[in-house]
Chains A and B, each alone.
Chain A
Amino acid sequence: MRRRLARYMAVLVLVALPMFVGFAGPDVSSGRWDRVAGSASGVLRELLTTPAAAARDENTVPFEAYKQALDVLKHDYYGPPIDAKKTRDLTYAAIRGMLYTLNDPFTSFLDPDEWTQMQQTTRGDFEGIGAVLEPYGQDVRVVRPIEGSPAYRAGLKPHDVIYSVTNYDHGAKKTTVVLGKNINDVVKLIKGPQGTPVDVAVIRKGHSAPITFHLIRAHIEPPTVRYWMEDPKNKIGRILLNEFNEKSDAQFDKAYQALMAKGMRGLIFDLRYNPGGLLNVAIDIGSRFIDSGPVVIIQEKNGQRQAYGARVRKHHVNVPVVVLINESSASASEIVAGAIKDNKAGILVGTHTFGKGLVQTLFPLSDGSALRLTTAKYFTPKGNDISNKYDEEHRPIFGTGGIKPDVVVTQPDTFTSLDWAEENKKNDAQLKKAIEILRTRLAQNPGRNPQ
């Protein structure tokens, strides 16, 4: 479990990484908002010239402390020998302990295995079966199959618990029962090159035996934005954003225009379970909701704050907006939600957001490990710090950070799935509230012309 949770963290911060890398914006005073663009090169140069190794000091206090204790162990420890591998493991533990004192859950050390796995996960997942998975207790289950993917066509369903995975390596069939396995290990088994076969057996409610699906892996480009007319009668549209990547803004624009073409009069913008993404994309999308002024304020290590302002967008959202947020709306989601709230550009409904106002950078290290370090903070346009405070045992103190919704709606216990299928909507109290607010609002302004 410990390992598993560590992996979730890895994924989360990966989300935050591009926020830093993809960011190269002008100073707020230049007024050239349109050039907040995602070029990585500027930051890359910065990283390349970081003189870390050159400035390395041999006689620092932490190093001496670490070395002294390690020497005691090497000379006198009665137990398994402190060999090269053990020394490495102990050193990694020491590094983690040093970082732990920063009391920052987003700063961490990735050993070579973790670092490799993170890279594999991120590189390899364009080819697979097309199912979004989530940890479910000890196991792994399907959130939903991605439309048009092999998993979708074969008939995998939300809530299917992955029972076993069968791979065919040069004709040799190998089945692994994955109950109780780490989600990353399960993902690794399921993923593979386009065109190769894989069998996935799932446990489905109402079936006494696992159901096996024979799948051929494919190249998959899942939409990061999904949309539909949630309430066709009242012309209330809904746009769901999974994350903030480079395609998100264009896809959002397309979704918005498509809904407007159908006469949308109110928009539900769903940022629940959105863990974040690129900073410049957050600014782009945030800019669609607010007229002027900053979307977010970034504070670098030197304490200097820079405001990154709204860009003039071709398609500005100009229907009433309700933003859905919850405790898993993080990072870039909080930037957008915060900008909308501070500018009163929409009504926030749901639960207190995650509370992560920090940007991490990944530093690869010489022995194949990596350091993930918090290097900047951000604030909402009104200057609110959204980062949670943490107690002495590194547990977030809820309510000390995050974005507070304008209308707090907690989901009932019957709400158990991240799948937005029709059957789950009846349990989605937050969605119901959003619709109710927009209906009331639209009823008060029946003549409003969104154009």
Chain B
Amino acid sequence: MVRALRGMAAAVLLALVIGGSFATGRQLRQSVAGPIGSRVTALPGVGIGAGAGLMPGFAQSDDTSPASTFQDVYTYVKQQYVDRVDNDQKLGFGAVRSMLAALDDPKTRFYDPAQKQRLINELAGNYSGIGAVLTVVKEKRGEVEQNRLAVVAPVPGGPADRAGIRPGDVINYIDKRWVIAYDPRYDLSQLRLNRANAVQYDKEWKDATKRLADGISLPKALDVLSSTQKPLQLVIERAGSPSPISVTVDPAPFVLKPAEYRRLNDHVGYLRITEFNDAAGAAIHEAAQDTQIHGLIVDLRDAAGGPIVGTSPLPIAAQDLLGAFTRGGVVANLVTKGNERQSIAVSGEHHPVKLAVLINRGTANIAEVVAAALKERGGAVLIGSRSFGDAIYQRLVPLRDDTAMTLTAGKFFTATGGDFGKKGIAPDIAMAVGGPQPDDAAVRRALGVVEG
């Protein structure tokens, strides 16, 4: 699934390296003094040194904008490539995918029509694949920057959740294929000081190359996890677990209600929100209309957020919730391109009840905005564990040919200007919590708070 599919990935370039590494591998010789140079005898024919001046049409053109370079390459491909190239859409998809990947920003990426459709479905609560919101976490280990595939949150009740996958888990292997996080040949630098044994070094080199060759690239891994219909065996790394954990996730398409409301007793309501989409509106309205309650528990555990559709940075469902259960006014702040600051305000009929909000590591992004607003503007008590710490305003932008891109469009701050990026939001009452359910210890604790 990968609703947010926030990970882009070392992407295309990484895969290119894999292709390239076989070209000649380490065996290709290069000479300081020459063999290659002699080949060049034929090159003056193409005017290698002349560069741009060679081509008529280019020579007269002072148009050296990147755009014209793009067009020239396209034209050569169409006219000169050995095979007929007629899928222009595919060329365009490749161009945009790679361009966005070059930003090296996991939140800005391209969605082809199939990926876009899956995303739209998932935002509506129709999940496929393993059912987890994933992200790519950059992590520096020694000198090497690694891109690691991490779980923001499993979708409650989904295949990943049932298999025991938890927020923060890092997926290292999919069906025994290593999820390529970096070029393992970097590890060989460790052997540099110990190079007396050339045989061992060569063996290590071959092993590393094989590991890379047999691995699965991040974009591919994201696609597989989001669309698989077959069971997948995953090896995950979990903080606090000394050894890797192997789980099998048996995917099945399933529908999750983005929100549900119920009474816990005569005076306390329980509102679970996993996704702030339009379909969540009904449950939120139900809670807002329930005049019998004095207290409300808002369960935002494993509410992992996702790209925001439409022009409003705060989804309507979140506006409705905050309109009903805060004093109104500014509930969050947003900084966009060029450091432009804007305040996000809501209004509505205030329903003054005692609030407790359940959060955990899987509470991310818009759910963190909401949790902070309920606390700062509605007096809510936050219970559970520290939230994920994703403050990026990520928009879903439709593009031509039924494609889309997600875009890093800004950064959220809380109503009082608090920055929860990376570090997350700390609970007022800290306790270990799992995924959302209406009757666990965290809910009982929350019940005590709102009834007390």
B77 touches A99 (CB 8 A): yes
Distance A131 CA – B33 CA, assembled complex (angstroms)? 6
A11 touches B30 (CB 8 A): yes
Complex interface bits, B32-50 against A, C-beta within 8 A gives 1, otherwise 0: 1111111111111111111
Task: List 7 additional contacts besides A2-B13, A134-B28; criterion CB under 8 Å.
Answer: A11-B24, A11-B30, A69-B399, A134-B29, A220-B33, A393-B220, A416-B199
Distance A75 CA – B336 CA, assembled complex (angstroms)? 11
User: Which chain B residues lie closer than 8 Å to A260 at the CB level?
Assistant: none
Q: Does B89 contact A (CB under 8 A)?
A: yes
Count of inter-chain pairs, beta carbons less than 8 A: 469
Distance A168 CA – B13 CA, assembled complex (angstroms)? 38
A96 touches B12 (CB 8 A): yes
Q: A95-B70, A124-B37, A222-B34 are in contact. Are A78 and B213 (CB under 8 A)?
A: no
Distance A245 CA – B77 CA, assembled complex (angstroms)? 28
Interface of B: prevailing SS: helix
Distance A68 CA – B402 CA, assembled complex (angstroms)? 13
Closest to B403 in A: A65
Distance A203 CA – B203 CA, assembled complex (angstroms)? 20
Q: Which of A71-125 contact B (CB under 8 A)?
A: 72-73, 75-79, 87-102, 105-107, 109, 115, 119, 121-125
Q: A52-B75, A123-B40, A366-B64 are in contact. Are A78 and B337 (CB under 8 A)?
A: yes
Q: Does A159 contact B (CB under 8 A)?
A: yes
Stretch from A273-281, A288-296, A438-446 forming part of the interface with B = A273-281
Distance A77 CA – B56 CA, assembled complex (angstroms)? 38
A93 touches B48 (CB 8 A): no
Q: Does A38 contact B (CB under 8 A)?
A: yes
27 CB-based A-B contacts, threshold 8 Å: A14-B36, A43-B46, A50-B79, A53-B61, A63-B74, A63-B92, A73-B103, A77-B407, A77-B409, A78-B411, A93-B101, A101-B87, A101-B90, A101-B93, A128-B32, A131-B31, A133-B32, A137-B195, A138-B189, A139-B192, A224-B35, A278-B39, A362-B48, A364-B48, A364-B52, A365-B69, A366-B69
Q: Does A172 contact B (CB under 8 A)?
A: no
B73 touches A54 (CB 8 A): no
B85: min CB distance to chain A, Å: 7
Q: Which of A166-195 contact B (CB under 8 A)?
A: 179-180, 183-184, 187, 190-191
A126 touches B33 (CB 8 A): yes
User: Which chain B residues lie closer than 8 Å to A224 at the CB level?
Assistant: 35, 38
Stretch from B15-23, B160-168, B265-273 forming part of the interface with A = B15-23
Stretch from A231-239, A310-318, A370-378 forming part of the interface with B = A370-378
Interface of A: prevailing SS: mixed
Q: A50-B79, A101-B94 are in contact. Are A12 and B198 (CB under 8 A)?
A: no
Distance A227 CA – B267 CA, assembled complex (angstroms)? 96
Partner of B88, one of A61, A91, A123, A396: A61
A364 touches B42 (CB 8 A): no
Partner of B102, one of A66, A89, A149, A243: A89
B407 touches A328 (CB 8 A): no
Partner of A416, one of B51, B192, B202, B395: B202
Distance A51 CA – B55 CA, assembled complex (angstroms)? 9
A56 touches B72 (CB 8 A): yes
Closest to B89 in A: A61
B190: min CB distance to chain A, Å: 10
Q: Does B255 contact A (CB under 8 A)?
A: no
B23 touches A9 (CB 8 A): yes
Closest to A2 in B: B17
Q: A11-B30, A98-B92, A365-B69 are in contact. Are A78 and B336 (CB under 8 A)?
A: yes
B276: min CB distance to chain A, Å: 20
Complex interface bits, A16-48 against B, C-beta within 8 A gives 1, otherwise 0: 011001100000000000000010110110011
